[in-house]
Amino acid sequence: MRGALALVLLLAGPALADPIMAAAGIEMLLPQLARPAPFPRSLALAGRMAGEDAEIQAVLGRLGDLAAVGVPNRRMLAATLPAALDAAVAAEVGVEGGLGLFLARVMRLGAGVSGGLDSPALIAAVVAQAHMEAGGLAPAAAALAGLPPEPTLDAWREAARARLRLEAEAALLADLAMRRLVP
């Protein structure tokens, strides 16, 4: 693969080498952004390959904090949402500990079946769960935005914001790569 890239750059000449290298760096970085693991090496490599391209360097610079720790993917967020919803409902009810979480789960599941939505946390929980099941991370996060602070819920909201931010930057990088390849 590296040999083929070198051959393309050699044949393309110096005028095209920089844009092609920048696009190649982005293409190597993009798959890493879909994973939950930290990606500092891939980010550094993309930065080196982008050279003096200010647009690409600006986007890569905004990813540094996320690269160091990684970002939960959508599957992880969907898997951890029920615990965050139960914690939010338990906090609203005012019952702590395992009993509170059990009561919250029963209330949440019952509200989904019977339609008995009589609290802001229950309404937000049912709406957020429905959005997540439909693949809508942004609407799910928006449905939970008005709920009061609760540690488990706050951690989920922060992770969702980070994933949405990362996905937006990835889309921008993909567009920049395409513009470098097809002027």
pLDDT in tens, 126-161: 889 889 999 999 999 999 998 889 899 999 999 999
The band of 111, judged by pLDDT with boundaries at 50, 70 and 90, is low
How far is 112 from 92, CA to CA, in rounded Å?
A: 17
pLDDT in tens, 31-50: 999 999 999 999 999 999 99
DSSP, residue by residue, 115-145: ----SHHHHHHHHHHHHHHTT-HHHHHHHHT
pTM, two decimal places = 0.80
Six token digits for residue 154: 């706050």
Q: What length does the chain have?
A: 183
Mean of all residue pLDDT scores within the chain: 84
How far is 168 from 16, CA to CA, in rounded Å?
A: 27
Task: Provide CB contacts within 8 A for 150, sequence distance 6+.
Answer: 87, 88, 91
Phi, psi (rounded to 5 degrees) for 136 = -100, 85
> Between 87 and 151, whose confidence is greater?
151
How far is 41 from 8, CA to CA, in rounded Å?
A: 24
Helix (H) or strand (E) holding 102: helix 97-114
pLDDT at 60 over 50: yes
